[in-house]
Amino acid sequence: MIGTIPNVLIINKSIPANNLKEFVAYLKANPGAVNFASPGAGNSSHLSGEMFKRRMGVDIRHMPYKVDPPELTELFGGHVQMMFATVGTALPHIKTGEVKALVVADPNRSAALPGVPSMADLQIENFDTDTWFGIVVPAGTPAVNAAVNDPNINARLVGMGLRPSTMSSAAFTGYVQHESVKWGQLVQLSGATVD
């Protein structure tokens, strides 16, 4: 395991909401009027939106794109109103005020966005849609954990919005199995298919 990067819910700045409670109220008052973007069907951004739709009880529509830049441009222009993006993708646009960040889709706040609450901060449990990164290498390869724990590399990873994490082979295997079950259940519930 190298680490995880949380998704953050970002919305078009013209939406009259400045926090998750206000946004959910807006969605409930305007059923079907809000589209959420993702860089393609079946990825973590799409499935985060599907989880959000079910957990919040709101009527939003998925608008899949093929890659990141077009859906961000569409979000800035108001053609779609929301999306879950990785902190690394969203961070520059949050800093410039092009979008509003409402919540980090993780039990913990992101070090890159300390002022944005986590789902757990808002008493929304089990809403964890991190993207994770790992490397599979032959047994006994020590370099990965040592590299991730190197202060210079660790600082660069944090600067990209990543939450560095190392674990044993057995722990990583268990983590991958847990993630496979979690995401598999959400794919079945949502009816998502991969483009």
Burial 161-184 (b: 16+ CB within 10 A, else e): bbbbbbeeeeebeebeeeeeeeee
How many percent of the chain have pLDDT more than 90? 43
* Amino acid 155: pLDDT: 87
Q: Which residues pair with 118 in a beta bridge?
A: 104
pLDDT in tens, 7-65: 999 999 999 999 999 999 999 999 999 999 988 888 888 899 999 999 999 999 999 88
pLDDT in tens, 84-131: 999 988 999 999 999 999 999 989 899 889 999 999 999 998 888 888
Amino acid found at 164:
P
User: Could you tell me where the beta strands, DSSP code E, fall in 65-157?
Assistant: 82-86, 99-104, 131-133
* Amino acid 176: pLDDT: 85
Using H for helix, E for strand and C for coil, what is the string for 138-167? CCCCCHHHHHHHCHHHHHHHHHCCCEECCC
Superfamily of domain 3-189: Periplasmic binding protein-like II (3.40.190.10)
The shares of helix, strand and coil residues in the chain, as percent rounded to the nearest 5, are: 45, 20, 40
Judge contact between 7 and 44, C-beta under 8 A: yes
Burial 72-109 (b: 16+ CB within 10 A, else e): bebbeeeebbbbbbbbbbbbebbeeeebbbbbbbbbeb
pLDDT grade, residue 164 (50/70/90)?
confident
pLDDT grade, residue 67 (50/70/90)?
low
Q: 82 by DSSP, 3-state: which?
A: strand
pTM: 0.85
